[in-house]
Amino acid sequence: MRTNEARAAAVRRRERNALRRLGALCAALALSLAGALAHFTGGAEGAVLGMHGATLLSDSAGGYVLVAVASFALSSALTLACVRLREQGRQSETKDREKAEPPSADQ
DSSP 73-91: HHHHHHHHHHHHHHHHHHH
Mean pLDDT, contiguous 10-residue spans, the chain (107 residues): 84 89 87 80 56 59 76 91 89 78 62
**CA dist., res. 31 & res. 10, Å (int):** 32
**Domain regions of the chain by residue span:** 4-99
Residue 77 carries which side chain, given as an amino acid letter?
A: A
Has this prediction a pTM greater than 0.75?
no
Residues 100, 36: Cα–Cα separation, whole Å: 50
Would you state the pLDDT for residue 80? 92
Residue 86 sits at the vertex; the CA angle it makes with 5 and 29, to the nearest 5 degrees, is 115
